[in-house]
Amino acid sequence: METEGTDPDVVELASKLFGLARTGDTATLVAYLDAGVPVNLTNDRGDTLLMLAAYHGHADAVAALLERGADPNLGNDHGQTPAAGAIFKGEDEILRALLAAGADPDAGSPSARDAAAMFGKTEYLQLFGN
């Protein structure tokens, strides 16, 4: 996260929010979102709250973020999407929630489809219609 010229309190709050997504503290995260924190907030690597919650296996946080309009197709600075991260981590429930919310299995690099093929996850490829 760019910190030069940024209020240290804002940086501290943002760091806290990304920590909540990583640890799956859904209730606290939701309180901040409902108070006006942007649901598609990104960190200095382009990771969204959704990306971190998905990658770290927090299905409740993922569901809460999606319910509040998180974009399941926003990739980080490396082109990775929450769906590809869910495949990498073997998070079936999260992948299904992302797909139900409109995640594109062909978005990103590697895409979720590419990640499924790379890791031999044929059950995921079947979800995508392959």
What span, in angstroms and rounded, lies between the C-alpha atoms of 108 and 87?
Answer: 13
pLDDT for res 9:
81
pLDDT at 1 over 50: no
Give the pTM. 0.90
Determine the Cα angle at 110 with ends 123 and 21, to 5°: 85
Residues paired with residue 42 on neighbouring β-strands, in sequence order: 48
Confidence of residue 130 (pLDDT cuts 50, 70, 90): low
Structural domain boundaries in the chain: 8-127
Report the CATH fold assignment for 8-127: 1.25.40
Measured distance CA(5)–CA(20) in Å, rounded: 25
Handedness of CA 120, 118, 66, 53 (dihedral sign): positive
Q: What spatial distance separates the first Cα and last Cα of the chain, rounded to whole Å? A: 38
